[in-house]
Each structure stands twice: as C-alpha cells, then as structure tokens.
Amino acid sequence: MNFVKKLDSAPSLYFLPENKEPDFFSEDLKNYIFKERAFEGKAKESLVYIGPKTDNIILVGLGKEEDLEADTYVQAGYRAYKLAQENKLEGLNLSVEAFGDIHPAKALQDTVEGLYQGAYHFDSYLKEKKERRLKEVHIHSELEDQEALIQEVSHLMEAVYAARDFVNAPANDLYPESFAQRVLDLFKDLDVDIRVYDEKEVKDMGMEALLAVGKGSDRPVRFLVAKYLPLGEDQEAITLVGKGMTYDSGGYALKPARSMDTMKSDMAGAATAVASLYALAKNQVQENVVAIFAAAENMVSGGAVRNGDIIGSMKGSTIEVNNTDAEGRLILADALYYAASQVNSKAIIDMATLTGAAIAALGYDITAALTNDQELLDGLLATSRATGEGMWQLPITPGIREKTKSKVADLDNSSRTYRVAGTIYAAAFLEHFVEGKPWIHLDIAGPAYKDSPSGYLPYGATGVPVKTLYHYIKKQK
C-alpha cells in the first residue's frame, strides 16, 4: 500500500461521529446523506455514494463523540479498507479529523494502522492469491509531521505482519533452525546484532531445561539473541524474552487432537519478541533492547523427557517434570536466567502462550500480566489501554510460590495436587529464574491466535502485543 498525493479520480472517504454534518458538504449533499439515506454516524455504519453522477464519497461512522475508544480509528481505518475492497477501488482519498478526546496524531496513526489491519492476508500456501485492490491512499490531516507519523506506523505494522507470518507458518516449514534463519533474514538490513546458538553451544551454556524439552524431536533446539543497542553496549537494556515452542504435541502428556492442530502457534511469544525489536530498530527508537528466544519442538520419542523425570537448568536448579505439556516454562526458565545473568538487563519482559488457565480466567482477548515490580507493570498496562490490546493483572502470591517447590527437586513444573490458578503457578515458577530483576510475565495464550476473525484481528495469528511493547519501550527513551 502506497501513501501518495491527492488522487484526482478516487473517491473521498470521511469519518464522522454521530449527528455531525460537515460544513463543507453542500446542502443538497447533506439532504441526501442525512435525510434521504438517514446516515447517523453510528459505530460501524457506512454509506457509499460513488460512481457517475454522484459526489464520489464514502462515509464511515465513529459512534458517539463522547464514547470514542482507544482503537475507534483503527476500526474505522479497517472498515475503510474493506469498503474500498468491496467496491473494487484502487485508490482512495481519506480525510482524517480528530474528534472527542482523541489526539490528531493518534487519529492519523490509528487510521493508517486500520488500513494495514484490513490489508493483511496470510496466503503463502494458497495457489490462488486474494487480490489486494487498494494500492494507493492519500491521507489528508492538519499535521505538519504527517509523513513521519505514517512512516512510523507503517514500520510498526511491518513488524506485526512479520509476527503473524511467523506464527501462521506450519511447523513442517518453521522449526527451531528455520525460525532462527527467518529472523536473520528479517533483520539483514538493520543494525541489529544477532547470534544463533546451536545445540552444542546450548549444551555448553548448561541450558539443560531447553535441551530436555527438545530431545524428543529430530529437530535440534536453537537459542537466539538479538541486540539493538543504539545507546552503546555499556548501557542497560530492556530484554524481551519469548517462548519459541515451534510445535507442542504435549510430549508424553499428549494433547487431544482438537487441541493440537493449532500448536504451530506456540512460538507466538518468540515472534512477538523479535517483531517488537524489529519495529524499534526500523524506527530507530533510541533505547537499548535485546530480544531472546529459546526454540524447540515438544515431541514424543524413545528419548523424550517423561512425566516424573528430574532435569537441570542453566541456573543449576533442578526441576521435577510432572507434566511434559508444561514445557514452555522449562525453556523459558533457561532463557530468563540468561536474560538476568548474561545480559545487562534493567527490566525483563517475557511473552508466552503458556497456560489454558489464562484463557479460562480472561478469555481470548485479554493478556494475563504478572510481575515482581508494580511500577514497571503499571506503565505497560497504561500503554495497553492506549493501544487497545487488553491486559489484566493477576497476583503472584507467597502461597503459590511455596507450592512450586518439589519434594524431590528444587522446583516442580506442575503440581500433582494443586490444580487451580495455573497461570499464577507458572509465573511463580518463572520468577525463580529472573534473579530479582524487574520483570513482567505476559501470558498471551488467549489473544495470540484466533480461530475466527475478531474485529480487525484476522483468523490465525494476531501479532498481539507487539504494538503495546513498541509504544511502551518508545516512551522510555
């Protein structure tokens, strides 16, 4: 999609709140729209008045001006793209005016985001590709820095697209080694230092938990560290850690078939980490950021880890594996300890499709957030409200921390007797490996992948919460 100067022959599209009649519309046009067609500007309402002998306009309703929400303009931009597609338009002149308490820059950027949200299709494996008809868009606003604002959100949506493409790729094409290579390809033109550790190097670092999870697969594990350090290596970094389970069968705690077919998406945390870093580097945000992920397949074989096994970890803590389907916390244990001990991290944020309990508690649209640093999380929660990517805090209680201790090892990855509060239990387990560093755990099991479209989020991978992480880290500079 190209953003260009005004297109003479293309229709003009306007966003209007309820009962708002533009002064620049003629009286005849107002009568046609608001009286004959009874357009009211309600949310999701639209009017198409294009073609010969028309005023060549499209209207999209925003709803009541006092009720405009964080992502109202994203929804409107998404609707604009869909209307352009439905009416086979190759170009569009889009006028963006901020209403209510929405800042003009946010209205502009959210509109651009909405266009990109509407344009996304994962069709890499389709013989017949869906045509993207809308190719050129002119956006009019009163902002002098419009071009820079558009470029910023365009780069951010490139990152969201990348995260979605990673997650949507099937596990026979995207496995630990190929995932790492695709990340290298993504960053080839950016000033980001990437190191990929192979299985021998992972073993040399003592990442026994990662190795234990991956040993049931023919695909060897990988560990990836990407460094974007515009402030210099001597300055602290925010470290993003992702769960990179490229396929999760459950291991010997085998998942039922209906729960297994989407397990290619179990590396969404890793995709989020590297995509967020990509957006920050592409937009040259002046903040040191490191992205890390441990990648493995959780499979069944004669060499696979079993329920009841006791394994080691990079930290040296031993772990009783009471559930091989609680494998994500095992590979994160080594990744988090690396972030805490080998990276100059001022804060650590991990993302993982970790527990079904998060979905049971919060549904498919909300990320569960847990922390050992309330101030750190308060900032991230505020940013999530501004981006429309919902998050909700859950506590980590002393009682549940105590329950992560095993009778025969230092830790238990899944309690035999404590069958509730699974999201909190997992976070309490992970907290053991962050060495007291300020840390946030984001369980994205619900919003990372959709079985059907939801609003402007597509079927399949969503890219949530790349936007929130980008804007949160940008505000730290």
Active site residue 20: no
Q: Name the token pair of 244.
A: 């990179």
Q: Which of 269, 275, 293, 296 is nearest to 448 (CA)?
A: 269
Q: Name the token pair of 21.
A: 């009649």
Q: Provide the CA 88 distance to its chain's centre, in angstroms.
A: 30
Residue 184: how many other CB atoms lie within 10 Å: 14
Q: Provide the CA 457 distance to its chain's centre, in angstroms.
A: 11
How far apart are the C-alpha atoms of 416 and 310, rounded to whole Å?
Answer: 15
Catalytic residue among 42, 215, 255, 346: 255
Calculate the alpha carbon distances from 181 to 125, 155, 174, 196, 224 in Å: 19, 21, 10, 9, 10
Number of H helices, E strands in the chain: 15, 19
Active site residue 127: no
Task: Match 């995260």 to its residue by tokens.
Answer: 163
Catalytic residue among 79, 164, 227, 329: 329
H-run or E-run covering 275: helix 268-282
How far apart are the C-alpha atoms of 252 and 408, rounded to whole Å?
Answer: 21
- List, by residue number, the catalytic residues: 255, 329
